[in-house]
A and B are shown apart, each in its own frame.
Chain A
Amino acid sequence: GENVEQHPSTLSVQEGDSAVIKCTYSDSASNYFPWYKQELGKRPQLIIDIRSNVGEKKDQRIAVTLNKTAKHFSLHITETQPEDSAVYFCAASTGAAGNKLTFGGGTRVLVKP
């Protein structure tokens, strides 16, 4: 089955700097890649997603890139702010077994003021 690996597991950045989180996936049939932000004690919140027919997508300070050949995708956060501090999860879906999402292990991001 699908396997998603996420790096780094923790990331500390200075406010205003950029943060980059990388994920690799194993199943070449995967065609949907969402990113979730989970603050302590709260629900995972969908922040951006990308489909396999697109190489890059941007929404304000957040962007995601996808390289289907290498089977990896990345989340970029620019001009980080303290409220960006949270755990971020990448996920992948092939559409098999319904639209099952396979998640990475998460990245804890700390933005220092």
Chain B
Amino acid sequence: ETGVTQSPTHLIKTRGQQVTLRCSSQSGHNTVSWYQQALGQGPQFIFQYYREEENGRGNFPPRFSGLQFPNYSSELNVNALELDDSALYLCASSLDQGALQPQHFGDGTRLSIL
């Protein structure tokens, strides 16, 4: 069984640039959630995708957007990068969108904004 994989592992960008992060869900999982984890804090929910549709969103501005593909992999796009966007971005997949479904995380992409 293949776990959640994310790419790239590290990324350095400058303010104002755009970035795309990628996630492959665990085998058999059709739901992908994205979280932002600032240093020393718990992960914060950005949004969730289920069957290629956004299925819920946290308190993040519209410059955070995403996609899910027919194979259930997903992308997180961030436009107009700000210094505060520096964080570990985690992807988690679950078997379904149901509230009681365990979420399993990837290793994350560490994004640094200069």
Contact = CB atoms under 8 A, between A and B. Distances in A.
Nearest to A36: B105
Q: How large is the interface on B (under 10, 10 to 19, 20 to 34, 35 or more residues)?
A: 20 to 34
A103 B33 contact: no
A71 interface: no
Interface in A58-104: 89, 91, 93-104
A98 B106 contact: no
B100 A105 contact: no
Interface string A27-54: 0000110101000001111100101000
Nearest to A34: B102
Interface residues of A, number: 29
Interface in B49-66: 50, 55-58
Contact of B43 (A42, A49, A99, A103): A103
B99 A99 contact: yes
B100 A31 contact: yes
A44 B90 contact: yes
Nearest to A96: B56
Which of A34, A36, A43 has the largest number of chain B CB atoms within 10 A? A43
Nearest to B43: A103
A43 B56 contact: no
B103 interface: yes
Which of A36, A99, A100 has the largest number of chain B CB atoms within 10 A? A99
Nearest to A52: B100
Contacts of B57: 97
Interface string B77-114: 00000000000001010100111111111111000000
B97 A98 contact: yes
Interface of A: 4, 6, 31-32, 34, 36, 42-46, 49, 51, 89, 91, 93-106
Given A93-B100, A100-B45, 6 more contacts: A4-B42, A31-B100, A36-B105, A89-B42, A91-B42, A100-B33
- Rank and list the top 5 A-B pairs by shortest CB-CB distance, nearest first: A95-B99, A97-B56, A103-B42, A98-B56, A98-B48
